[in-house]
Amino acid sequence: MTVVTDPNTRTLAPTAAGGVLQSMHDSLVIARRNLLRMMRIPEVVIFGLVQPIMFVVLFSYVFGGSVNVGGTFSATAYREFLMAGIFAQTVTFATAGAGAGIADDMHKGLVDRFRSLPMSRGAVLTGRTLADLVQTALTVVVLAIVGVLVGWRIHHGVPKMFAAFALLLLLGYAFSWIGALIGLTVRTPEAATSGGLIWLFPVTFVSNAFVSPDKMTPWLRHVAEWNPFSATVQACRTLFGNPGVVHSNAWPMEHPVWASLVWSVLIILAFRTLAVRKYRSATA
Protein backbone atom coordinates (compact mmCIF):
# COMPACT_ATOMS: atom_id res chain seq x y z
CA MET A 1 0.00 0.00 0.00
CA THR A 2 1.30 3.41 -0.94
CA VAL A 3 0.95 6.31 1.46
CA VAL A 4 0.64 9.69 -0.18
CA THR A 5 2.03 12.54 1.85
CA ASP A 6 0.96 16.10 1.19
CA PRO A 7 4.17 18.13 0.75
CA ASN A 8 2.41 21.16 2.21
CA THR A 9 1.81 19.37 5.51
CA ARG A 10 4.26 20.29 8.30
CA THR A 11 4.88 18.64 11.65
CA LEU A 12 4.19 21.15 14.37
CA ALA A 13 5.77 21.07 17.79
CA PRO A 14 3.31 21.03 20.69
CA THR A 15 2.35 24.49 21.82
CA ALA A 16 1.08 25.44 25.22
CA ALA A 17 -2.40 26.79 25.61
CA GLY A 18 -2.18 30.36 26.78
CA GLY A 19 -3.67 31.93 29.85
CA VAL A 20 -3.07 32.14 33.55
CA LEU A 21 -5.32 29.16 34.34
CA GLN A 22 -3.37 26.90 32.00
CA SER A 23 -0.10 28.03 33.57
CA MET A 24 -1.48 27.38 37.07
CA HIS A 25 -2.69 23.92 36.04
CA ASP A 26 0.68 23.02 34.53
CA SER A 27 2.49 24.29 37.64
CA LEU A 28 0.31 22.17 39.93
CA VAL A 29 0.94 19.09 37.78
CA ILE A 30 4.70 19.60 38.08
CA ALA A 31 4.36 20.28 41.82
CA ARG A 32 2.43 17.02 42.26
CA ARG A 33 5.12 15.16 40.33
CA ASN A 34 7.84 16.53 42.61
CA LEU A 35 5.85 15.80 45.78
CA LEU A 36 5.33 12.20 44.70
CA ARG A 37 9.05 11.96 44.02
CA MET A 38 9.80 13.25 47.53
CA MET A 39 7.43 10.67 49.05
CA ARG A 40 9.24 7.88 47.22
CA ILE A 41 12.59 9.08 48.59
CA PRO A 42 11.72 9.65 52.28
CA GLU A 43 15.36 9.95 53.35
CA VAL A 44 15.52 13.35 51.61
CA VAL A 45 12.68 14.62 53.81
CA ILE A 46 14.13 13.00 56.94
CA PHE A 47 17.60 14.49 56.46
CA GLY A 48 15.97 17.84 55.78
CA LEU A 49 14.31 17.61 59.20
CA VAL A 50 17.38 16.47 61.11
CA GLN A 51 19.56 19.51 60.40
CA PRO A 52 17.24 22.22 61.83
CA ILE A 53 16.42 20.04 64.84
CA MET A 54 20.14 19.71 65.53
CA PHE A 55 20.53 23.49 65.30
CA VAL A 56 17.74 24.02 67.84
CA VAL A 57 19.12 21.51 70.33
CA LEU A 58 22.76 22.54 69.98
CA PHE A 59 22.19 26.29 70.12
CA SER A 60 19.68 25.95 72.97
CA TYR A 61 21.90 23.92 75.26
CA VAL A 62 25.36 25.10 74.18
CA PHE A 63 24.71 28.85 74.04
CA GLY A 64 21.64 29.04 76.25
CA GLY A 65 22.41 31.08 79.36
CA SER A 66 25.66 32.50 77.95
CA VAL A 67 24.12 35.16 75.68
CA ASN A 68 22.62 38.38 77.01
CA VAL A 69 19.05 38.74 75.75
CA GLY A 70 17.07 41.72 76.96
CA GLY A 71 19.48 42.40 79.81
CA THR A 72 19.41 38.85 81.14
CA PHE A 73 21.43 35.67 80.64
CA SER A 74 18.39 33.44 81.03
CA ALA A 75 18.53 30.19 79.05
CA THR A 76 14.75 30.34 78.53
CA ALA A 77 14.96 33.87 77.12
CA TYR A 78 17.68 32.84 74.68
CA ARG A 79 15.67 29.85 73.47
CA GLU A 80 12.71 32.10 72.72
CA PHE A 81 15.07 34.58 71.07
CA LEU A 82 16.68 31.79 69.05
CA MET A 83 13.62 30.18 67.50
CA ALA A 84 12.72 33.01 65.11
CA GLY A 85 16.27 32.89 63.72
CA ILE A 86 16.22 29.09 63.39
CA PHE A 87 12.85 29.19 61.63
CA ALA A 88 14.13 31.77 59.14
CA GLN A 89 17.40 29.91 58.62
CA THR A 90 15.52 26.67 57.94
CA VAL A 91 13.23 28.10 55.27
CA THR A 92 16.11 29.84 53.51
CA PHE A 93 18.48 26.85 53.60
CA ALA A 94 15.87 24.94 51.60
CA THR A 95 17.09 27.10 48.71
CA ALA A 96 20.09 24.84 48.19
CA GLY A 97 17.81 21.83 47.74
CA ALA A 98 15.66 23.66 45.20
CA GLY A 99 18.71 24.61 43.14
CA ALA A 100 20.14 21.10 43.28
CA GLY A 101 16.83 19.57 42.21
CA ILE A 102 16.49 21.81 39.18
CA ALA A 103 20.14 21.27 38.23
CA ASP A 104 19.57 17.51 38.49
CA ASP A 105 16.53 17.68 36.20
CA MET A 106 18.54 19.69 33.69
CA HIS A 107 21.49 17.29 33.92
CA LYS A 108 19.33 14.20 33.35
CA GLY A 109 17.52 15.73 30.39
CA LEU A 110 14.13 15.72 32.12
CA VAL A 111 13.58 19.33 31.12
CA ASP A 112 13.93 18.34 27.46
CA ARG A 113 11.08 15.90 27.94
CA PHE A 114 8.93 18.63 29.45
CA ARG A 115 9.69 20.79 26.43
CA SER A 116 8.05 18.20 24.19
CA LEU A 117 4.74 18.74 26.00
CA PRO A 118 2.27 21.57 25.36
CA MET A 119 2.82 23.26 28.70
CA SER A 120 3.76 26.66 30.05
CA ARG A 121 7.51 27.25 30.07
CA GLY A 122 7.50 28.76 33.56
CA ALA A 123 5.44 25.88 34.99
CA VAL A 124 8.48 23.63 35.43
CA LEU A 125 10.13 26.12 37.77
CA THR A 126 6.93 27.22 39.52
CA GLY A 127 5.91 23.62 40.18
CA ARG A 128 9.32 22.82 41.62
CA THR A 129 9.29 25.82 43.95
CA LEU A 130 5.73 25.04 45.11
CA ALA A 131 6.71 21.45 45.94
CA ASP A 132 9.71 22.73 47.90
CA LEU A 133 7.37 25.12 49.74
CA VAL A 134 5.23 22.18 50.90
CA GLN A 135 8.30 20.35 52.17
CA THR A 136 9.48 23.51 53.94
CA ALA A 137 6.09 23.91 55.62
CA LEU A 138 6.33 20.34 56.95
CA THR A 139 9.81 21.08 58.31
CA VAL A 140 8.57 24.25 60.03
CA VAL A 141 5.76 22.31 61.74
CA VAL A 142 8.19 19.70 63.10
CA LEU A 143 10.61 22.44 64.14
CA ALA A 144 7.87 24.29 66.03
CA ILE A 145 7.10 21.12 68.01
CA VAL A 146 10.77 20.71 68.89
CA GLY A 147 10.91 24.38 69.87
CA VAL A 148 8.01 23.94 72.28
CA LEU A 149 9.77 20.94 73.82
CA VAL A 150 12.94 22.97 74.53
CA GLY A 151 11.03 25.90 76.03
CA TRP A 152 9.92 28.17 73.17
CA ARG A 153 6.55 29.86 73.65
CA ILE A 154 4.34 32.36 71.81
CA HIS A 155 2.77 35.25 73.75
CA HIS A 156 0.60 37.17 71.28
CA GLY A 157 -2.00 34.61 70.29
CA VAL A 158 -2.57 32.08 67.53
CA PRO A 159 -3.56 34.50 64.70
CA LYS A 160 -0.26 36.39 64.98
CA MET A 161 1.59 33.08 65.19
CA PHE A 162 0.10 32.00 61.85
CA ALA A 163 0.94 35.41 60.39
CA ALA A 164 4.57 34.90 61.42
CA PHE A 165 4.68 31.45 59.85
CA ALA A 166 3.14 32.87 56.66
CA LEU A 167 5.95 35.45 56.47
CA LEU A 168 8.52 32.70 56.99
CA LEU A 169 7.10 30.55 54.19
CA LEU A 170 6.89 33.58 51.90
CA LEU A 171 10.57 34.30 52.55
CA GLY A 172 11.44 30.66 51.88
CA TYR A 173 9.46 30.71 48.64
CA ALA A 174 11.21 33.93 47.58
CA PHE A 175 14.65 32.49 48.27
CA SER A 176 13.75 29.29 46.40
CA TRP A 177 13.65 31.36 43.20
CA ILE A 178 17.24 32.39 43.87
CA GLY A 179 18.03 28.70 44.16
CA ALA A 180 16.18 28.03 40.91
CA LEU A 181 18.32 30.60 39.10
CA ILE A 182 21.49 29.06 40.54
CA GLY A 183 20.33 25.57 39.51
CA LEU A 184 19.79 26.75 35.94
CA THR A 185 23.15 28.51 35.81
CA VAL A 186 25.50 25.75 37.00
CA ARG A 187 26.15 22.42 35.29
CA THR A 188 25.83 19.85 38.10
CA PRO A 189 23.65 19.31 41.21
CA GLU A 190 26.80 19.35 43.38
CA ALA A 191 27.72 22.81 42.10
CA ALA A 192 24.14 23.98 42.71
CA THR A 193 24.29 22.79 46.33
CA SER A 194 27.62 24.51 46.96
CA GLY A 195 26.53 27.67 45.17
CA GLY A 196 23.29 27.71 47.11
CA LEU A 197 25.02 27.53 50.49
CA ILE A 198 27.93 29.94 49.93
CA TRP A 199 25.79 33.08 49.86
CA LEU A 200 23.33 31.83 52.49
CA PHE A 201 25.88 31.78 55.32
CA PRO A 202 26.66 35.53 55.26
CA VAL A 203 22.95 36.33 54.73
CA THR A 204 21.88 34.33 57.79
CA PHE A 205 24.77 35.16 60.12
CA VAL A 206 25.14 38.87 59.28
CA SER A 207 21.69 39.40 60.71
CA ASN A 208 19.77 39.54 63.97
CA ALA A 209 19.12 35.79 63.96
CA PHE A 210 21.60 34.66 66.61
CA VAL A 211 22.97 37.87 68.16
CA SER A 212 21.71 41.43 68.36
CA PRO A 213 23.14 43.78 65.67
CA ASP A 214 23.96 46.20 68.52
CA LYS A 215 27.02 44.02 69.22
CA MET A 216 28.34 44.48 65.66
CA THR A 217 30.58 47.21 64.26
CA PRO A 218 28.55 50.18 62.87
CA TRP A 219 28.86 49.35 59.17
CA LEU A 220 28.05 45.68 59.75
CA ARG A 221 25.09 46.64 61.93
CA HIS A 222 23.61 48.68 59.05
CA VAL A 223 24.03 45.72 56.69
CA ALA A 224 22.31 43.43 59.20
CA GLU A 225 19.43 45.84 59.77
CA TRP A 226 18.70 46.16 56.03
CA ASN A 227 19.10 42.45 55.41
CA PRO A 228 15.77 40.94 54.16
CA PHE A 229 16.46 37.96 56.40
CA SER A 230 16.66 40.24 59.46
CA ALA A 231 13.33 41.87 58.62
CA THR A 232 11.56 38.50 58.71
CA VAL A 233 13.29 37.49 61.95
CA GLN A 234 12.30 40.81 63.55
CA ALA A 235 8.72 40.41 62.31
CA CYS A 236 8.50 36.89 63.77
CA ARG A 237 9.81 37.97 67.16
CA THR A 238 7.31 40.82 67.17
CA LEU A 239 4.39 38.57 66.24
CA PHE A 240 5.45 35.72 68.53
CA GLY A 241 6.08 38.12 71.42
CA ASN A 242 9.59 36.74 71.88
CA PRO A 243 12.52 38.74 73.30
CA GLY A 244 15.27 40.24 71.16
CA VAL A 245 13.29 42.77 69.11
CA VAL A 246 15.87 45.26 67.83
CA HIS A 247 15.27 48.95 68.49
CA SER A 248 16.68 50.87 65.56
CA ASN A 249 16.01 53.84 63.29
CA ALA A 250 16.34 51.63 60.21
CA TRP A 251 12.96 51.34 58.44
CA PRO A 252 12.99 47.51 58.20
CA MET A 253 13.48 47.24 61.95
CA GLU A 254 10.78 49.82 62.73
CA HIS A 255 8.23 48.20 60.38
CA PRO A 256 9.39 44.58 60.17
CA VAL A 257 6.13 43.00 59.01
CA TRP A 258 5.77 45.37 56.05
CA ALA A 259 9.50 45.19 55.34
CA SER A 260 9.38 41.39 55.28
CA LEU A 261 6.44 41.44 52.85
CA VAL A 262 8.06 44.01 50.58
CA TRP A 263 11.45 42.26 50.51
CA SER A 264 9.92 38.85 49.77
CA VAL A 265 7.67 40.13 46.98
CA LEU A 266 10.54 42.06 45.36
CA ILE A 267 12.80 38.98 45.49
CA ILE A 268 10.08 36.80 43.92
CA LEU A 269 9.41 39.28 41.12
CA ALA A 270 13.08 39.83 40.35
CA PHE A 271 14.40 36.29 40.55
CA ARG A 272 11.36 34.59 39.03
CA THR A 273 11.75 36.83 36.00
CA LEU A 274 15.47 36.06 35.76
CA ALA A 275 14.97 32.32 36.33
CA VAL A 276 12.22 31.96 33.71
CA ARG A 277 14.30 33.95 31.22
CA LYS A 278 17.31 31.75 31.93
CA TYR A 279 15.18 28.62 31.58
CA ARG A 280 13.89 29.69 28.20
CA SER A 281 17.36 30.55 26.90
CA ALA A 282 18.86 27.35 28.32
CA THR A 283 16.26 25.15 26.62
CA ALA A 284 15.82 27.13 23.43
Roughly what angle, to the nearest 10 degrees, separates helices 42-62 and 75-108?
Answer: 150
Whole-Å CA distances, 279 to 98, 101, 102, 261, 276: 15, 14, 10, 26, 5
Please give the single-letter amino acid code of residue 212.
S
Phi-psi region of 65 (alpha: psi -120 to 50; beta: other; left: phi over 0): left
Alpha-carbon distance of 282 to 9, in angstroms, equals 30
- State the CB neighbour count (10 A cutoff) for residue 248: 19
Q: What is the pLDDT along the chain (284 residues), one digit of tens a residue?
A: 444 444 444 434 444 445 677 788 888 888 888 788 777 777 777 877 888 888 888 877 777 666 667 666 677 788 888 899 999 999 998 787 778 778 877 777 766 677 666 777 678 888 888 888 998 999 999 999 999 998 899 999 899 999 999 999 999 999 999 988 888 888 787 888 778 788 888 999 999 988 888 878 999 999 999 999 999 999 999 999 998 888 888 999 999 999 999 999 999 999 999 998 888 776 55
- For 96, 104, 178, the CA distances from 257, given in Å and listed in that order, are 25, 35, 22
Can you give the pLDDT at residue 12?
40
pLDDT of residue 20: 76
pLDDT at 214: 84
Exposed / middle / buried, residue 43 (Cβ in 10 Å: 0-12, 13-18, 19+)? exposed
* pLDDT in the model for residue 177: 92
Q: For 142-191, what is each residue's pLDDT tens digit?
A: 999 999 998 899 999 899 999 999 999 999 999 999 988 888 888 787 88
Quick one: pLDDT at residue 23? 80
Q: Using an 8 Å Cβ cutoff, are 131 and 36 in contact? A: no
Nearest alpha carbon to residue 263 among 279, 251, 278, 276: 251
CA distances from 20 to 7, 16, 129, 166 (A): 36, 11, 17, 24
Query: Cα(199)–Cα(183) distance, rounded to whole angstroms?
Result: 14
